Amino acid sequence: MMNTKNWFISVWMCLLVWAVTPLFAENYPYRSDVLWVTVPDHPDWLYQVGEQAKVEVQFYKYGIPQDGIEVAYELGEDMMPAHRSGKVVLKNGRAVIQLGTMNQPGFLDCRLTATIDRQTYRHHIKVGFSPEKLQPYTQLPDDFDAFWEKNLAEAARCPMEYTIEPAPEYASETTECFLVKLQCFRPGSYVYGYLTRPKASGKYPVVLCPPGAGVKTIKEPGRHIYYAEEGCIRMEMEIHGLNPKMTGKEFKEISAAFGDYLTFGIDDRENYYMKKVYMACVRAIDYLTSLPDWDGKNVIVQGGSQGGALALVTAGLDKRVTACVANHPALSDMAGYKAGRAGGYPHFFKRYQDMDTPAKIRTMAYYDVVNFARRIKVPVYMTWGYNDNTCPPTTSYIVYNVLTCPKEALITPINEHWTSEATEYGHLKWIQRHLR
C-alpha cells in the first residue's frame, strides 16, 4: 500500500504547477518541462504552533533530477512579505529547507525560485500551524440582523418578473436548458441565469450556483449538466445584468469600462454594490422555489470563490436554504490584514491605497462572509487548498471555524485557486446525501 508521503508525491507529479517568470494566479495546472515536488515532513502539511517544520524540495527537468542547481527561497506568512530568505543546492535533485515555526495560528509560505539556462521557474508551498484556532478580525455589527432584515423586506417588494427562453445548445438527451432574465431588488434591475432541469416530469431539489468574481459571461453553462441528469434543477447565474448571449468581445469591452465593482459605494453600507448582488441571490431562490417541479423541500446553494462567498451569504440570509457547498470562499475576513495577517479576496488592503478608513471598514463588516457564516444553521460542506493565493487558506479556515452548524470539509493542500472535476462532482454526491 502506498504510504502518505508517496501519495502526496504522486499527486504532485500528476497535478503540476507553474513555471515562467511573471507571477500571476494560476487557475489550472498545465504541462511544463520542469517539475517541482515539495514534501513537508508532516503528511497533512499541518503543525502545532511552536513546532518546527521542514520541507524536502525536488526539482526535475524533462523528468531528470537537476543536480547542483541553486534554489533560492523566501519564507513569509500567508500573503505577507518575506521575513527570511536563503539558498540551498540540490544534490541528486533534492534539498531540505528548514522552515522554522510560527508563534500564532496561521500559514507559512515557502516561495521557491530556480534558474536554468537563463529561464526562471517559481513554485511555493504553504504549511499550517494550528489553523483550527484561527479567528476573524471582523466583528459582528450590533445591528447586522436589523440591517439585512430591512434590505430583505425592501427587496421583496420588487415584483418578481422574468422571461424565459429555450437554450437547447446546453441541454442533453435527458435534460432541458433555458435562459432566464429575472428582475431583482428594484424594478428595472435584472440578472440572468441558465436553468437546467430534467426532462422527465417529477419533483426535484433546486440548486443555485452564483458566479465567481469578474464581469464576464456565464462560463460553460453545460459543464455541470450532471446535476440535471441526476435529478436536480440547477441555475447558474450572473450578477451584473449582462445577457450571457453577448459576445466575448462585448464582455471584454464592458469589463474594461466597468471597473472594480467590489469597490463601488464601499464608503456607505446602504449604497455598496454588493447589496444588489446579495439580494439577487435571494430573488433567485424566490424564482426557483416558485417552479412547479420543485420538490417543496430542498434548496441548495453551491459555488466557488466569489460564488462560494455568495453561497454562504445566501445560506445565512435565506431560511429556505437547506444545505450549502462552498469552495475557497472570497469576501471572507476582508479586513484581516488589519490583524497583520492575510485577509480575504479582493485583498483591499494589498491592492488599494485608500481602503483603511473607518467608513469602509464598517461597510466591509456588513458584507463579510464570516458574519453570514455565524448565522447558518443548515449543513455546510467546504473545500479549499493551502497553496491558494487568491482566497488564502487563512480565510477559508476562519470561515469554517466560525460555523456552528453541521459541517464537513475536504481539504486539498496542493490546490491553488482551482478544484478538480472529481471534487466538483463530489459536491453533487454530498448534496444528494443531505437531501430531506
Q: Please, which residues have CB within 8 angstroms of residue 435's CB and are 6 or more apart in sequence?
A: 205, 297, 298
Q: In this predicted model, what pLDDT tens digit does every residue of 314-356 receive, in sequence order?
A: 999 999 999 999 999 999 999 999 999 999 999 999 998 899 9
Residue of 124, 347, 417, 434 with catalytic role: 417
Dist. CA 100–CA 117, nearest whole Å: 31
Return the half-sphere exposure (C-beta side, CA atoms, 13 A cut-off) of residue 369. Answer: 31
Per-residue model confidence (pLDDT) at position 221: 87
Backbone angles phi, psi at 36, to 5 degrees: -95, 135
Q: Pinpoint the alpha helices (H) of 61-142.
A: none
Is 420 in the active site?
no
d(CA 227, CA 394): 31
Amino acid at site 101: T
Element (H, E) at 278: helix 274-288
Catalytic residue, candidates 388, 396, 427, 434: 388
The active-site residue out of 78, 305, 328, 368 is 305
Contact 280, 191 (CB under 8 A): yes
Amino acid identity of residue 11, one-letter, is V
DSSP H helices, 289-346, are 306-317
Paired sense of beta strands 190-198 and 233-237, if any = antiparallel
Q: Has domain 4-132 been given CATH number 2.60.40.1930? A: yes
Q: For this structure, is 417 an active site residue? A: yes
Q: What is the pLDDT of residue 30?
A: 56
Burial class of 241 by CB neighbour count within 10 A (0 to 12, 13 to 18, 19+): middle
Contact criterion met (CB below 8 Å) for 18 and 38: no
At 361-420, the pLDDT tens digits run: 999 999 999 999 999 999 999 999 999 999 999 999 999 999 999 999 999 999 999 999
User: How far apart, in whole angstroms, are the C-alpha atoms of residue 334 and residue 370?
Assistant: 9
Domain locations in the chain as residue ranges: 4-132, 144-433
Residue at grid coordinates 530568505: 85
For the chain, the residue count is 436
What's CA 282's distance to the chain center, in Å?
Answer: 20
- Identify which of 312, 318, 264 has the alpha carbon closest to the alpha carbon of residue 287: 318
Angle (deg, nearest 10), helices 306-317 and 274-288: 70
> Hey, what's the torsion of the CAs at 6, 421, 249, 215, to 10 degrees?
-90
Q: Where are the strands (E) in 117-275, listed by range?
A: 119-129, 162-166, 175-183, 190-198, 204-209, 233-237
In this prediction, the residues of the chain whose per-residue pLDDT falls under 70 are 1-30
Instruction: Count Cβ atoms within 10 A of the Cβ of residue 43 and give its class: 0-12 exposed, 13-18 middle, 19 or more buried.
Output: middle
Neighbours of 355 (CB within 10 A): 19
Annotated catalytic residue 427:
no
Look at strands 34-40 and 162-166 and give their pairing. Answer: unpaired
CATH number of 144-433: 3.40.50.1820
CA distances to 109, 211, 261, 354 from 264, rounded to whole Å, are 32, 18, 5, 13
CA distance 324 to 120: 42
User: DSSP string of 261-277?
Assistant: GGGTTTT-TTT-THHHH
Strand partners of residue 75: 84, 110
